[in-house]
Structure 1
Amino acid sequence: MKRQTFWLFAAGVFAFSTAACNRDNTTGIPAISSRVEGSTKQLTDAIAFFTRQFNTVDGGLAVMSVDGSGRRPLAGGELGFEPSISPDGRRIAFSRNTDVGVTSVYVMNVDGSGTTPVAQGIVLNPGPVWSPNGCQVAFRSSPDGPTGPVGRISIVNADGTGLRQVSPDDAQGSFDESPTWSPDGTRLAFTRNSFLHVINVDGTGLTALPNEDMASNPSWSPDGQRIAYSSGGEIHMRNADGSNLVRVTTAAEGTFDSWPRWSPDSRRLVISHVAGDQIQIVTINADGTNPVNLTP
C-alpha cells in the first residue's frame, strides 16, 4: 500500500510544565498574566505536525500519540505549519501564510479556539518555538536590511505584546533562523549563515559554536547537554558548547533527514525522514538506534 505523503515542518514530544508567566520568569522579559484563559484541554505525550492527509490540497496541522496512533486534524489548524506545543500542553504556536511569501505567527488553544496573531508580515518560514515557561515565543523575523529582508531572531510574549529583536544586525547582512531555547530559558541557540550560535535572551553574549559541518533546524535537549540539528541530509548532535560531533543518522542515496526534536527525557528524537518519494515521521534513539516510522 502506498504511504500517505506529507511534509513535516516541525514536530516534537512534549511534557507538561507548571511554570507560570510571573515576575520571576527566567528570561527577564516583562511578565504577562499568569491566569489561564480559554480552553482547558491539553495535549500530553503528543506530536504535532503538518500533513496533507486530511486536506490533500492545502494541508494543515495534525496531532498524534508518540507511538503514531490517534492521528487527527487539529481544529483551527487549517493552512497552518511549523507547530509548537506549549509546555503546559494547552496551546499551539504555528505559522500560516497570509499572502504569497508572507507569513504570520499565531497562538491558539489546542481545541482551536482563541486564535491570536502574535507576529505578522514575516518573509517565509519563521519557525516559532515556545519558551520553557510558556510565556514567550521565539521565531525568525525578517526586518529590512541593506539589500532586502534579513533573518533575525526575535521574541514576543504569548499574547502578542513585547515584540523585540534578539540577534544583532551586522554589516554583512547575515541570515539568522531556527531558534531553540535552552532548558532554563536564559539563552537561545540558532543558526547564522548555517553555523550554530548561542545568545542570551537579552541580546548579549553572541557566541559562534564550532560546527564545520554546517547546520539547520537545531534543537536543544531538555537536559541542556546537547544540541541536535540537520546537516547535509543527516541528523548531527553536539554538546551545548559545540564540542563532540556525533552523527545520529547517516545519509543514504535517496534519503534526507531533518527537523530533529527531543523527547522530554532527552533519550529520543522525532525527525522528518525522506525516503524516495515518501516523507515520514520517525522516532529514533539519541544514539541512532531503534528508528520507528510513525507514518501509516
Structure 2
Amino acid sequence: MSSGLQICLSFILLTQLPDTTERSPISVEELWLKLTLSGSRQRLSLVIADFTTPRGTKSDTVSLVAQLQQVFTADLRFSLYFTFEEPESGKVYNFPTDPKKPDLKGWATTGAQILICGDYVPRKGNAQLNLRLYDLASSRLIASKPYNLRPEWRWLAHQMADDVIKLLTGEDGVSCTRIAFSRALAAGNKELAVVDYDGANLEQITGSGGLKLFPDWAPDGNRIAYCAYGTSSLNCYLLDLTNRKVAVISERTGLNTTPAISPDGKTIALSLSFEGNSEIYLLDINGRNLRRLTNHPAIDISPTWSPNGRQLAFVSDRTGTPQIYIINVDGTDLHRLTFAGSYNTSPVWSPKGDLIAFVQRQPDGANQICVTNILGDSYLRLTYQGNNEEPTWSPDGLHLAFTSNRTGTWEIWTMDWNGANQRQITRTGGAFSPTWSPRLRR
C-alpha cells in the first residue's frame, strides 16, 4: 500500500461515511500534470462484492439491489479515481462477506486495496442497504453506513457513490449531478430538459412553446438562465426550478444571448446588441445594474467565467475570424488566448481553473472540441467523429459533456477530460447546448 493511502486510511479509520476531482499540441501526460497540480495522485484499487440479500427475499427486491449495485459501480468507474479488480471471465469471487466474519485475507488475494460490501436489511416500512468498506492491507473496517431504500433508488446509488468517493479521496464526486439541455420537439420548438449525468431520468422542465436556447445552470442548483425569442428579439430569462417561475434578465432590443452565471451566483455575463454590435455586459442576477465590459466594432459573444470569478473568456472576431480572448471583470488585461486554428468558439472554463475547452473548426469543415491551458501555448484535440460542439465541464473538472451529430442526429455525449470514454447519454432526436449542474441534493 502506498504511504499516501496509509495516511488517508489512518485518518478516516472507523469513521462514518459523509452524510451527503499551428502550435504543438500538449501531451496527455503534461495536461494530466496540469490538471492534478502535483501529478502524484494514484488510483485506489477496489473490489466490489456482490451485494447480499437474505434468503427468502422477494425476487423483485433482489433485482432492485442488483440494479442499485450496477449504478453504484458505474458511478465509481466514471469518477476516474479508482481501478477495479475483477475475476477472470467466467469466474466469480466467492469469499465470504458476512459482517461478523468477512474473509478479508481471501479478498486481499484479489490485489485490491479496498473491499466494498453491501447488505440488504429488511425492516418494517424502512428497509435499508448497509454499505461497508474495508482496508485489505490491514484487514480493518474503514466505515459502515446504513441507507434507507426509497423509490428514487438510482439517486440513492449516486449518493452512496459520492459518499465513497469523498471518504476515500477527499474529493467531491459528480454522481449527484444532472445535465440540462435544449431539446428539439418539433420545427420551431425547443424546450429545456434535464437528465441525470448518466442519461437516466429524462425530464422536460419547460413547455411554453418557441425556442429555448443556451441554458446555464446557477451554482445553487436551483436556477437556470436561458434564452428564448420574444416578439421582436432573442431575450434572456431565469427559470426557478423550485417553483418553475420565470424572471426576466434582459429583453433589450436586438440580441440578449449566451448568458453565463458567475461562480458566486450574483452576476450574469451575456452578449447584448442594443447599442449596435454585440458586446459583453455584466448584470446583477435580477437583471439590474448593467455594466458594459467590452467595446469594439467586432462581435463579442459567449462569455465563460473563471472559477474565481475574476476573469471571463469570450469569443470575438476582432481579428477577422472568431478567436477566444480573456479579460478581467473590471475590463483590464484583455488578451487573445487562441492562435492555433482560424475559427475557435464556445469556450468554457474548467472548474479547476487551469484549462479552457473550446470548439475549433477543422480544415475539413468539421467542428471538434479541444482544450488549452490558460496561457494558450498548448492544446489538445479531444474529438474526431462527426461534428462535436458546445462543451460543458463537470463540477470536478474531470469530464465534459457536449453535443455531437456523429450518429446522424444531435445528441448529448460525455467524455473524460482527455477525450477518453466518449459515450452517448441522450436519444431524444435532437439535443443541444448542454450545461452541467453543480452537485445537487435531494
TM category, shorter: 0.7 to 0.9
Q: Which residue of 2 aligns with 1:151?
A: 278
The correspondence of residues 200-219 of structure 1 with structure 2, limited to 5 A, is 200-213=328-341, 214-219=343-348
| TM-score, L = length of structure 1 | 0.77
Q: Is 1:295 aligned to 2:426, yes or no?
A: yes
2:293 to 125, 142, 166: 166
The correspondence of residues 29-108 of structure 1 with structure 2, limited to 5 A, is 45-53=177-185, 58-75=189-206, 78-79=209-210, 80-99=212-231, 102-108=233-239
Q: Is 1:181 aligned to 2:305, yes or no?
A: yes
Q: Which runs of 5+ in 1 are unaligned?
A: 1-43
Q: Which residue of 2 aligns with 1:234?
A: 368
2:380 to 241, 246, 253: 246
1:202 Cα deviation after fit: 1.3
1:78 Cα deviation after fit: 4.6
Task: Verify the 8 A CA contact 1:48 1:61 in the aligned structure 2.
Answer: yes
Q: Which residue of 2 aligns with 1:140?
A: 271
**Does 1 or 2 have the higher relative contact order (CA < 8 Å, sep 6+)?**
1
Secondary structure of 1:126's partner?
A: strand
| TM-score, L = length of structure 2 | 0.52
Amino acid at match of 2:307: P
Q: Distance in 2 between matches of 1:247 and 1:104?
A: 33
Secondary structure of 2:226's partner?
A: strand
Identity %: 29
1:56 Cα deviation after fit: 6.3
Secondary structure of 1:289's partner?
A: coil
Distance change (3 Å), C-alpha of 1:224 and 1:88: same
Distance change (3 Å), C-alpha of 1:286 and 1:82: same
1:192 Cα deviation after fit: 1.0
Q: Distance in 2 between matches of 1:122 and 1:259?
A: 26
Amino acid at match of 1:46: R
Which deviations, in whole Å up to 9, do the C-alpha atoms of 1:106-144 show, x marking residues without a partner? 112114533111111354571111100001111111143
Distance change (3 Å), C-alpha of 1:69 and 1:291: same
Q: Distance in 2 between matches of 1:126 and 1:112?
A: 24
1:77 Cα deviation after fit: 6.5
Task: Verify the 8 A CA contact 1:76 1:113 in the aligned structure 2.
Answer: no
Q: Distance in 2 between matches of 1:77 and 1:89?
A: 22
Amino acid at match of 1:138: A
Distance change (3 Å), C-alpha of 1:77 and 1:222: farther
- Structure number, greater radius of gyration: 2
Task: Verify the 8 A CA contact 1:156 1:163 in the aligned structure 2.
Answer: yes
1:76 Cα deviation after fit: 6.1
Amino acid at match of 1:267: L
The correspondence of residues 101-120 of structure 1 with structure 2, limited to 5 A, is 102-120=233-251
Q: Is 1:225 aligned to 2:354, yes or no?
A: yes
Q: Distance in 1 between matches of 2:420 and 2:258?
A: 28
Q: CA RMSD in A?
A: 1.8
- Higher normalized strand content (fraction of residues): 1
Secondary structure of 1:52's partner?
A: strand
Q: Distance in 1 between matches of 2:316 and 2:208?
A: 30
Q: How many residues align?
A: 241
Q: Which residue of 2 aligns with 1:190?
A: 314
Distance change (3 Å), C-alpha of 1:158 and 1:287: same
Secondary structure of 1:99's partner?
A: coil
- Higher normalized helix content (fraction of residues): 2
